[in-house]
Amino acid sequence: MFLKPLIIFLHDSCLALISLLFHGRNSEDAAGVPKRIEASSIINGVRISIDTSWGRQLRSLLIVPIFKCLVALCLILSLLVFIEGIYMNLVVLYVKLFNRKPEKVYKWEPMLEDIELGHETYPMVLVQIPMYNEKEVLQLSIGAACRLIWPLDRLTVQVLDDSTDETIKELVNAECAKWESKGINIKCERRDNRNGYKAGALKQGMKHSYVKLCNYVAIFDADFQPEPDYLQRSVPFLVHNPEVALVQARWRFMNANKCLMTRMQEMSLNYHFMAEQESGFIRHAFFSFNGTAGVWRMAAMEEAGGWNDRTTVEDMDLAVRASLLGWKFVFFNNLAVKSELPSKFKAFRFQQHRWSCGPANLFRKMIVEIIRNKRVTIWKRLYLIYSFFFLRKIIVHSFTFFFYCVILPTSVFFPEVNIPAWSTFYIPSIITLFIVIATPRSFYLVIFWILFENVMSMHRTKGTFIGILEGGRVNEWVVTEKFGDALKTKLLPQVGKSRIGCFERVNSKEMMMGIYILCCACYGLAYGNTLLYIYLFMQAAAFLVSGVGFVGT
């Protein structure tokens, strides 16, 4: 007899408070909204009422000003991101107009044999292939490395196999034995643990005696397949330019047409190489090593301290340390290496977590070292801190999620807060146009790309905060699932047999965000005076579709 009236009283009170805090009409009297609202109930025959007029004062004095401050902050960040994007694309335009190819910036001459010395004019090159239970791609990656055109007595292929499956170990051994019988100097190295993951494997691989004889090391992940002339085109930059530490090739995606998710990944990564890598190379001779499809000078790696497993982005860690010592990097845009994009949504989420958490954590650990460094110019240090880390590795992810997925949907409850059109339409349209230029064939997918990127920004933001605060998943490393040619061969039925239960497919974070944005869209449709609800309905659909697992293969 007591609980039921109490529950009704609390229910009415909460509804009244929510109505006061989020009712966005300015002309309350005209709309029939009373200035003083009371929530009442009867408990044991006694009428109890509360005066909720304080809620409207709380809204006007606290909630609205806070929301305005958040909007202003987002507008400032939007301008910073826009200016950075404009500047990077102007640099790319300069490269195209003045033909600033790597061969024009640095000395490049083909490697030639000496009549007397023969192959001894060629430097010793080590090719490393780190892998972990890569059943579907091990033959492709090992075969591609062994087909590289380079004198056999000047080339060593090192397979760093951390596999735990005995069957896969036997397959790796058989593949190495096959190429060894063809005259390839190939080594298969294994550890008794997986400490440090990929960085630990690469570090252990550098300790073998035959590695000390090598001048350069080329690294290819298990799903990367270089063309036979890769070394012939990249190594001369290192041979003829002693100040160059790294030559990085771009990626070309074999399975970009597999599904809509891989098409959108292709758009993002093509822009990354076209704008971020190209502009960093031309401006400061620095960009982040991508962890694969690159050739390093051994002396530069040793001077920088070698591989370090303190973060999940050991490649970026090494690149930043080498750059702070004055070494220069070359980005070879015309040299492409075939690779594979993750085609499953869960695998893509794990990859994006690592790619956002690692840089943020590295920034936390290296910010003081960068500031105190005296071997490079102050402009390069500012570029590293502000442009490379702060804007592109931290702000972009957080800004995208909070502005487009939180602030904009919530703005339907605050019509008195004006969000200018340039921040919601013009700037995003220009930035999106830049990104589409990198992949013209996917122009018609631009709407899907925007919505999907906003969905993924939630995971990138989470990873960024985990990295900055060193949360529990800061060192999480999940190997990205690969299929190689499995989806084109008889393995297709076996790959498709793995069934996932309905509840296992549901992604709760996407579902919650989708439901919230959907509620905002419905409110905007009912009470708003703009067309923002159209975007909100589409964004809610993108979150909900991702939430039920209908993304990828």
Residue 324: left (phi > 0), alpha (psi -120 to 50), or beta? alpha
Rounded to whole angstroms, the Cα distance separating 101 from 178 reads 39
To the nearest 10°, the Cα dihedral for 211, 212, 213, 218? Answer: 50
As beta bridge partners, residue 216 has 125, 297
What distance separates the 2 farthest-apart alpha carbons in the chain? 111
Q: What are the two backbone dihedrals, phi and then psi, of residue 63, each rounded to the nearest 5 degrees?
A: -65, -50
**Please, are residues 349 and 265 in contact by the beta-carbon 8 Å criterion?**
no
Helix axis angle for 260-271 and 446-469, nearest 10°, is: 70
Cβ 500 vs Cβ 345: under 8 Å: no
**DSSP per-residue letters across 291-345:** SSSEEEEHHHHHHHT----SSS-HHHHHHHHHHHTT-EEEEEEEEEEEE----BH
Q: Which has the closest alpha carbon to 226: 300, 332, 122?
A: 332
Among 162, 221, 309, 317, the one annotated catalytic: 162
Amino acid code (one letter) for 364: R
- d(CA 223, CA 226) in angstroms, rounded, equals 10
For residue 315, what are the CA distances in angstroms to 186, 203, 226, 231?
A: 24, 12, 19, 20
Please say whether the beta carbons of 353 and 476 come within 8 A: yes
Catalytic choice (161, 221, 309, 315):
315
**Would you call 525 exposed, middle or buried from its count of C-beta atoms within 10 A (0-12, 13-18, 19+)?**
middle
CB atoms within 10 A of CB 474: 18
* Interior/surface letters 84-93, b for 16+ CB within 10 angstroms, e for the rest: bbeebbebbe
With beta carbons less than 8 A apart as the criterion, state whether 55 and 21 touch. yes
Q: What are phi and psi of 353, to 5 degrees?
A: -60, -45
Q: Is 485 a catalytic residue?
A: no
Q: Classify the C-alpha dihedral 300-306-310-316 as positive or negative.
A: positive
Give me 278's structure tokens: 């190209």
- Residue 162 among the catalytic residues: yes
Residue 511 is inside which H or E element, if any? Answer: helix 508-527
Q: In this structure, what token pair is assigned to residue 296?
A: 């390093």
Residues with a catalytic annotation lie at: 162, 315
